[in-house]
Chains A and B, each alone.
Chain A
Amino acid sequence: MKSLSLTPGQLTGLEAAFWLLLASSFWLMPDHLTLLSQILILGLFAVSLDLALGYAGILTVGHAAFFGCGAYAAGLLAKHGWGEPFSGLLLALLVCAALGYALSYLIVRGADLTRLMITIGVCVLFGELANRLSGITGGTDGLQGIVIDPVLGLFEFDLWGKTAFVYAFVVVLAMFLMTRLIVSSPFGLALRGIHDSRKRMQAIGSPVAARLRMAYCFSAALAGVAGALMAQTSQFVGIEALSFNRSAEILIILVLGGTGRLYGGLIGAIVYMLVHDWFADLNPQYWMFWLGIFLIVVVMVGRGGIMGALSRLVRIRRA
């Protein structure tokens, strides 16, 4: 198979084209704006998981904990009278960053199995907490009555999701660019090193535990922003936002797209949500069945996802 080779400049062009294509869907698919906003938000969530799982190598199946906390933080703020959207995002970011940093002390201890357990356990714990505190969170009925003020005081959230889409697009793009910066910084390179060989990084004097804690904290903050976006654009927070199923779903999205590749999460979200939308009228049980089969096949034929397959076709020429 002949492989396509690209210069770094062309690659940047490709990235720009990707985002322009996403933006142009505002005019191309005006009937599906709600779906598109959801894709963007899940994409951001998947990118946040990628930061922890793909780059830092922290095995977590409980990332919905942060997504849900961000959603509840933004939702509760708006419900109790402060409807300005950006401060909601900021609150979610701060809450989840603090939470992520506190939990990171648990995460960096122990082996993969213990980590896995702690992440699942914390996620289920939060879910149970949201269920119990139904006076605050609305319990299984979900958090209702969220009213979001117009963005910048100018653009009101409309019924067709136009403002929601643009708002989500801008926020996701900003967060993504920030992640891109983090990943290509010396800190990001250190994470890659830890992912590939923890012992060697330790040997050259890299503070492995501190780096992992930072990465987990960033990842949690990003997931919180994604959750806040979901709460603001849909003006509702369901208790499923905190569930194990959501954690598993986002893991599937990331694996579908490809881990450790930055765009994997976004591409995975696009493909997953489009296919899901396609089969929406299908019985959910069939959906689950094929999802399970898909996972088994992915593991058996080798990981890498869509981005992994693409990277085998395209070679990047180093200047």
Chain B
Amino acid sequence: MGIVIFDGIAYGMLLFLIAVGLSVTMGLMSFVNLAHGAFAMIGGYAAVTAMNQFGLGFFPALVASFVAAALVGGVLEFTLYRRLYRAHPLDQVLLSIGLVFVSVAVFTYFFGPTIQAFSPPESLTGSMSLMGLEVGRYRLFLIVCGFAILAGLLLVLNRTRYGAMVRAAVDNQRVARGTGIHVQRLFFLTFAFGCGLAGLGGALSLGILGLEPSFALKYLIFFLIVVCVGGAGTIIGPFVAALLVGIVDVAGKYYLPELGAFLIYVFMVITLLVRPNGLIPRKGL
């Protein structure tokens, strides 16, 4: 029981890391970005390349994954996304599906269709006992990362000038612009940062989900579930939703394996029925 919840939390943290950027994109810019998984994939492949080709350690590779995904995200925001903020959601959906297809094709071309080999560093292999539970070190590391990033995000959003500007723009874009906030630059930075976090999540997922070119499509639905169930535009919402999704999924696979991934979709549909705007609706950053 305890270990199932622990693994569920670790999985949920991973989902949170990847999806939090998506939540901000959807909430702040109301952009339906189905390509978010592709940024996680970029991070994952960047980490693999950094470790296998350039011989970097795991931790520097994590930094590389963040930087790579943020850079690509920034470039795409500047060239493509920026033009569609006011467009119809259908256009946004089409653009992001197009990006997913291109990314899947490109990564298959360069890295092949198989799952990337990955071995975590010495310090994160094996397990240790924690409060009477025998827990995996890698998963423990994930949970620590998740909490650290949650704390960091909350701190930035609630205590800094930049965070105040983001909150203002989420609440009311026009008034925020009127007070002299550079909303476009804010969008750019926030988008790139969200993509960077997705990349970091993608790199961390190497040891749990496995990285292959169809990653962006395979897990897309999970990221969307986390954002929608949690409520787009918040930090706490996706966090709570990610933990719930992680625990429900792991527990479902453990106790009711014949149901498989079924449970999670039922969970989503029911939650959206009861709360169409998510567990914690927007404006509660």
Contact = CB atoms under 8 A, between A and B. Distances in A.
B262 A132 contact: yes
Contacts of A128: 260-262, 265
Interface in B28-87: 30, 32, 34, 80, 83-84, 87
A113 B93 CA distance: 10
Given A114-B277, A296-B102, A255 B94 contact: yes
B7 to A, nearest CB: 21
A275 interface: no
A196 to B, nearest CB: 12
Interface in A276-302: 285-286, 288-289, 291-296, 298-300
A252 B225 CA distance: 23
A293 B266 CA distance: 34
19 contacts: A59-B89, A109-B273, A109-B276, A112-B32, A113-B228, A114-B228, A117-B225, A121-B272, A125-B262, A129-B262, A132-B258, A285-B104, A291-B98, A291-B101, A292-B100, A293-B102, A298-B94, A299-B95, A303-B90
Contacts of B83: 300
Contacts of A303: 90-91
Nearest to B101: A292
A299 B276 contact: no
Interface string A43-64: 0000000000100000101000
Interface string A88-121: 0000000000000000001001111110111011
B117 interface: no
A256 to B, nearest CB: 11
A292 B98 contact: yes
A258 B91 CA distance: 13
Contacts of A182: none
A248 interface: yes
Given A118-B269, A132-B262, A288 B105 contact: yes
A248 B265 CA distance: 19
Contacts of A53: 90
Given A61-B34, A295-B101, 13 more contacts: A111-B276, A113-B228, A114-B228, A117-B224, A121-B269, A122-B269, A128-B262, A244-B221, A289-B106, A292-B98, A295-B94, A299-B91, A300-B95
Interface bracket on B: 35 or more
Contacts of A255: 90, 94
A59 B91 CA distance: 11
A124 interface: yes
A288 to B, nearest CB: 4
A269 interface: no
Contacts of B99: 292, 296
Interface of B: 26, 30, 32, 34, 80, 83-84, 87, 89-91, 93-95, 97-106, 108-109, 217, 221, 224-225, 228, 232, 258-262, 265-266, 268-269, 272-273, 276-277
- Tell me if B's interface is mostly helix, strand, loop or mixed: helix
B94 A113 contact: no
A239 interface: no
- Tell me if A's interface is mostly helix, strand, loop or mixed: helix
A237 to B, nearest CB: 20
A267 interface: no
Interface residues of A, number: 43
B104 A113 contact: no
B221 A124 contact: yes
Contact of A125 (B104, B232, B269, B272): B269
Nearest to A122: B269
Given A116-B32, A128-B260, A106 B224 contact: no
Interface in A165-215: none
A251 interface: yes
Contacts of A291: 98, 101
A125 B266 contact: yes
Nearest to B278: A114
Nearest to B91: A299
Contacts of B94: 251-252, 255, 295, 298-299
B105 A285 contact: yes
A286 B269 contact: no
A289 B105 contact: yes
Residue among A117, A245, A291 having the largest count of chain B Cβ atoms under 10 Å: A117
B272 A118 contact: yes
B221 A121 contact: yes
Contacts of A251: 93-94, 97
A59 B93 contact: yes
Contacts of A259: 90
Nearest to A297: B98
A296 B80 contact: yes
Nearest to A126: B265
